[in-house]
Amino acid sequence: MGECTFIKKNSEKCASPALKGDEHCFTHSNRPEVVERRELAHREGGYCGKLPKIDSSEWVELKTLDDVVLFLERTANEVRTGKIDRGRANTLGYLTNILLGALEARDLDTRVEMLERVVIMRKGH
Ligand SMILES: [Zn+2]
């Protein structure tokens, strides 16, 4: 698969991966079926070319279950008030889900470790 040959306003090449049988990527293809899919994606909010700027200094700690719950509450409200788009909210939901799994696994690890220590102590090591 080649690179998209589209030249951007700043005269740089797009360089996103081109679609199969196309010299352009999903964003720049002129093929009617791709244009249609692109417009649909825009409407559905699944694909968004330009996202609203987010303050990058706004670092969110997500180390505990409480952090995640607070984060989800905030995100839900931001979606409700239209502060963030659906596409981004979907991604955040997806990532939060993975994070919850990881937090659970970590807690389980800690518990297993504690149990192992108890067993070793009982063996008189
Ligand atoms: Zn392109």
Judge whether 52 lies within some domain.
Answer: no
Q: Are residues 38 and 72 in the same domain?
A: no
Burial 41-56 (b: 16+ CB within 10 A, else e): eeeeeeeeeeeeeeee
Same domain, 72 and 118: yes
Distance (Å) from CA 119 to ligand 1 centroid:
59
The verdict on 33 and 71 lying in the same domain is no
Ligand 1 centroid to 19 CA: how many Å?
9
Q: What is the model's pTM?
A: 0.45
Q: Report the C-alpha dihedral over residues 96, 100, 106, 107, rounded to 10 degrees.
A: 150
* Number of domains composing the chain: 2
The 10s digit of each residue's pLDDT in 55-83 is 555 678 888 888 888 888 988 888 888 88
* pLDDT(46) > 60: no
With a cut of 90, say whether residue 48 has pLDDT above it: no
CA distance 89 to 77: 11
Say which residues have a Cβ less than 8 Å from residue 104's Cβ, sequence separation at least 6.
none
63 C-alpha to ligand 1 centroid (Å)? 37
Residues 6 and 38 in one domain: yes
Measured in Å, residue 40 CA sits from the centre of ligand 1 at 18
Among candidate residues 99, 96, 101, 105, the one with its CA nearest the CA of residue 72: 96
- Tell me which residue range forms the domain holding 22: 1-44
pLDDT at residue number 23: 92
Whether 56 is in a domain gets the answer no
What confidence category does residue 53 fall into, taking pLDDT thresholds of 50, 70 and 90?
A: low
**Residue 94 is assigned to a structural domain of this protein:** yes
Question: Which residues make up the environment of ion ligand 1, defined by Cβ < 5 Å?
Answer: 4, 6, 14, 16, 25, 28
